[in-house]
Amino acid sequence: MIETTADVAGAMRADGYDVISETVDGETVTVEVIMSPAEANKARRTYDLDISLKRNKKGQTTAQAAFEEAENGFEVWRQWAEPGGHKDEMEFLADQYDDITELITIGQSVNGQDIYAMRITEKADTKRRGSRPAVLNISAQHAREWISPEVNLRLMKYYLENYGSDERVTDILDTTEIWFIIVYNPDGYDWTFTEGNRLWRKNLADNNGDGEITSIDGVDLNRNFATNWGQDNEGSSDNPTSQVYRGPAPTSEPETAAADALMAQYDFSFLVNYHSAAELLLYGTGNQVDSPTPDDLLNIAINGTDDNPAVEGYDPDLSAELYITNGTTTGHAVGAHGIMAYTPELATCNTATSYFEDDAFGPTYCADEGRSGFEFPDDEALVQFEFEKNIEYQLAIAESAADPANPVSPVGTPAPDFEVKTFT
């Protein structure tokens, strides 16, 4: 935790520090930053800062609290490759629902783990891939965002469990392909379950080739795509220690290459890339500020407005509202493949607990537990609630796949053919 000024906080973001929260009190800005000891020492010298570790009531750091929770056993969270993890469940579901699913290995991670995609549609075993309008749903691109694969998995199971009994779901799967990549970054995701690494973000590329994974390693898989790759050092970084390190070249990472090849091979109408944690629905331009596109008339119909968002409590807006980005998955999907692409930023620890008023969660729960915004509580009711909030948004996008120019709006707002700007 660091108390500083708005200028220094902005400079730290620009220099690639992983600033995950800011609280403003007059001229004082308190920022929470994820950094290694070496990065902390550099920040002290560069900005003349007093830096302290964030601790909970027990005096534990975030990493210590997370490891204690893991040792006691999780209620919801699971690794990718562990027995009974997400990988095993995808294989189980593909076998259980073999008439409407096809489990595909689209590539391997840096460490050789399979990256699975599940294709769901009526007669998936005989219907040619890409023969129907398609939607691609991705999660766990950033390793520490555990809520994203859990919500995405539950959305996938929603289709499977309701096909044949729910008319709306049945109509979608009879006419549309819905694809799911539950854990896009399996190496990094599993790494966050090991001691001291709960908030790791990137993949596990060994950047300096020393056989160890330290703060200098890893590539941000959401900055490694070719479209606008390396446009500037605000939207990504050329520094390997940065959390937004874009890699040595566009599409340098096998995870990126796998997703790019999938998007190139099949004519997806929409891409939904689940992340956390900010409660946003991001669309359109991310590589420069305040730059709408003609497609935003469609984007607004699907994502809603501040007063009428497609997901309860979320803020729909241009991608650059969160911060400037380049080399991103959604930017590449739109720019290289003509896919309408969205980034739902799921709830933070604080916003998730704010919906519940019971003994388990109070206004200081996340701070008392030493949790960052990314550490969504390991609680079934909270996770289920976050999933349920996203169902209508997901189904409306699926129903729009056949004719994206005339989308089904989850908020009941039709998309105009064009927008007239009047002037005197």
Q: Which amino acid is at 152?
A: N
Backbone angles phi and psi of 195, in degrees to 5 = -60, 130
pLDDT at 42 (0 to 100): 81
pLDDT at 29 (0 to 100): 81
Residue 28, H or E segment? strand 28-34
pLDDT at 70 (0 to 100): 65
pLDDT at 39 (0 to 100): 77
The model carries a pTM of 0.90
CA angle, corner 23, sides to 150 and 4, nearest 5? 125
Q: Which amino acid is at 314?
A: Y
Burial of 414 (0-12, 13-18, 19+ CB in 10 A): exposed
The structure tokens 């519940």 sit at 356
Please report, to the nearest 10 degrees, the dihedral formed by the alpha carbons of residues 161, 164, 165, 166 taken in order: 90
The bridge status of strand 268-273 relative to strand 134-138 is parallel
DSSP character string of 268-321:
EEEEEE-EESS-EEEES--SSTT---TTHHHHHHHHB-SSSBSSTT-EEEEGGG
Low-confidence ranges of the chain (pLDDT < 70): 1, 20-21, 36, 56-58, 60-71, 355-364
The structure tokens 């948004």 sit at 393
Burial of 358 (0-12, 13-18, 19+ CB in 10 A): exposed
Q: How many angstroms separate the CA atoms of 154 and 135, rounded?
A: 16
pLDDT at 66 (0 to 100): 65
pLDDT at 392 (0 to 100): 98
